[in-house]
Amino acid sequence: MSHVTYPNESAEYRKARSALLEEEMALRRHIEAVAAQRRALPPGGEVPQDYRFERIGANGMPETVAMSRLFGPHRTLILYSFMYGPDRDTPCPMCTLLLDSVNGAARHIGQRAALYIVAKSPIARLVAWARERGWAHLQFLSTAGNSYNADYFGDSTKLPAEIRALSGGKPGEEWDDTAFNVFRLDNGTVRHFWGSDLTWAPTEADTDHRSGDAVSALWGLLDMTPEGRGQFMPKLAY
């Protein structure tokens, strides 16, 4: 195939870049194939209860809302479990980085699916952090008082022992965790469609689980650079 060429590049560079391009095209095909396989999943399990969450209502006051009411005009609901429980003084920096990206996309996502960010902290605390961060387009729910995070692995309480060990958890220790879960409303029944199980899968050398990479702009940008990601860890402030 023909290629673009850049000013003053060498034949060695073009040969290596063309070989890389073949791999990038193969990766693109694989990403599309995985997405198609995900879309073809059979119906997932019915949610065990119509979870009740707390949110800030249109009048600016806290209110309780059932999970089945979160879909709005859509049939698809995306919930992201944010690692900012009441035991944390500050939120997880990696989760915060991810939500910096999601905030910018949230207005567009809302045209196709409902999206909420959930955490165990009281709703007032979540909204205060969102305001400080400038997240104008994210909607938050508090899971305080319900078992959603436990049932859908936004915390460690129901993780199998083997996965707890892989995660480095100590006996008796519990923690909140990052998790995306997608739900589908079918004829009045809410079913689980997909979860970010990659969070708890074994990792390759020198990587973390990378289960949220597809929605985080930072990692995609750093992967384009000569330095790559290295050991960079985001901070809440610089």
Q: How many domains does the chain have?
A: 2
Residue 1: the pLDDT is 61
pLDDT grade for 48, boundaries at 50, 70 and 90 = very high
Tell me whether residue 179 is in a domain: yes
Residue 144: the pLDDT is 94
- 174 shares its domain with 134: yes
Which residue range is the domain that position 32 belongs to?
A: 12-41
Residue 167: the pLDDT is 74
- 118 shares its domain with 17: no
Average pLDDT rounded to a whole number, residues 155-173: 83
- 26 shares its domain with 105: no
- 111 shares its domain with 36: no
Distance CA 123, CA 32 (A): 37
Q: What is the CATH number of the domain that holds 142?
A: 3.40.30.10
Tell me whether residue 209 is in a domain: no
The tens digit of pLDDT for each residue in 80-131 reads 999 999 999 999 999 999 999 999 999 999 999 999 999 999 999 999 999 9
pLDDT grade for 50, boundaries at 50, 70 and 90 = very high
SS (H, E, C) the chain: CCCCCCCCCCHHHHHHHHHHHHHHHHHHHHHHHHHHHHHCCCCCCECCCCCEEEEECCCCCEEEEEHHHCCCCCCEEEEEECCCCCCCCCCCHHHHHHHHHHHHHHHHHCCCCEEEEEECCCHHHHHHHHHHHCCCCCCEEECCCCCHHHHCCCECCCCCHHHHHHCCCCCCCCCECCEEEEEEEECCEEEEEEECHHHHCCCCCCCCCCCCHHHCHHHHHHCCCCCCCCCCCCCCCC
- 134 shares its domain with 97: yes
Distance CA 126, CA 50 (A): 22
The tens digit of pLDDT for each residue in 16-33 reads 999 999 999 999 999 999
Tell me whether residue 207 is in a domain: no
- 21 shares its domain with 128: no
Residue 47: both structure tokens together: 């949610």
Residue 138: the pLDDT is 98
Name the least confident of 33-47, 114-128, 217-231.
217-231
Residue 163: the pLDDT is 85
Distance CA 30, CA 25 (A): 9
Residue 151 CA: distances (Å) to CA of 52, 80, 160, 209? 14, 14, 12, 21
- 34 shares its domain with 94: no
Question: In the predicted model, is pLDDT for residue 15 greater than 80?
Answer: yes
Question: In the predicted model, is pLDDT for residue 53 greater than 80?
Answer: yes
Indicate the average pLDDT of the chain. Answer: 93
Tell me whether residue 93 is in a domain: yes
Tell me whether residue 222 is in a domain: no
Tell me whether residue 66 is in a domain: yes
Q: Which residue has the tokens 């952090």?
A: 129
0.85 exceeded by the pTM? yes
Tell me whether residue 237 is in a domain: no
**For the packed helices 123-133 and 93-109, what is the interaxial angle rounded to 10 degrees?**
80
- 63 shares its domain with 175: yes
- 101 shares its domain with 30: no
Question: In the predicted model, is pLDDT for residue 207 greater than 80?
Answer: no
Cβ partners under 8 Å of residue 228, min gap 6: 222
Distance CA 199, CA 179 (A): 7
Residue 206: the pLDDT is 73
Average pLDDT rounded to a whole number, residues 144-151: 95
- 89 shares its domain with 186: yes
Average pLDDT rounded to a whole number, residues 176-195: 96
- 189 shares its domain with 142: yes
Tell me whether residue 166 is in a domain: yes
